[in-house]
Amino acid sequence: MVNKDLAHEQLAAIKLSIEIGRTLQTDHPEIANSYRVGRTLSEIAEALDVQSKYKVTRMVAESSVFRALTGYNGGFNGRAYCGLIQEDERRILGREHRQKYSDISYKECLGIHKMTRQQRIESGRSGGLIAGPKNVKEKKGIHGLTPEQKREACYNATLARGQIPWSDEEKTLAYELARDKYCRREIAQGLNGYFHRGEEVRGSEATRAKIIRYRKSLENRAQSS
């Protein structure tokens, strides 16, 4: 499990990026056009020297640019502000960005594109084994795997479906955000800004479901200890 102190540090980093994002909107409204012409959050942050100017990490710098583009709805108990680009347009641009870098990943054999066709089939098969009573009893398929092997199988199956797996760090932060009443409305957006460079990877419903499962896993762990 990820250290809770680390999760609190990440929460503080998200709040800092919200404030820097507000400042960037005033000082650099041209961020919107930079994003429209295809520049990434990383490229924009680097061009504006956000990391050095505000003495923050690369991740916070990129998240700050993300906030300038998307705005903030007040979920962290602060003053809300609108983004430089409206949501409908931003979603279209986001799809274009994802397609662009999906093509790059394909050409450079990154992520799932590292896997051979057979490896993808096996990954999908290992993560999609049916949980029948007979398999449980005889410890066949996924039921014959160690906990570590099960996690690996699920991870590979997620990759095979073209999705992005949840890291322990991301799950812990989502759980900590859910425990703070001022953060609950912003969890998915906070995760996207902090872990996924502003891409709309985590949705509200899926994030809520993940938090519920994570909470249950912590309860089960506590009961068995």
Domain boundary assignment for the chain: 4-108+166-224, 109-163
> Does residue 3 have a pLDDT over 70?
no
Least confident range of 70-79, 125-134, 156-165, 208-217: 125-134
* Average pLDDT taken over every residue of the chain: 75
d(CA 174, CA 183): 10
Could you tell me the pTM of the whole model?
A: 0.59
Please check whether residue 124 is in contact with residue 157, taking contact to mean a CB–CB distance below 8 angstroms. Answer: yes
In which band, very low, low, confident or very high, does the pLDDT at 87 lie, cut at 50, 70 and 90?
confident
Please check whether residue 80 is in contact with residue 43, taking contact to mean a CB–CB distance below 8 angstroms. Answer: no
φ/ψ of residue 187, rounded to 5: -60, -55
Q: Which two tokens stand for residue 88?
A: 């409908």
d(CA 107, CA 89): 27
d(CA 121, CA 157): 9
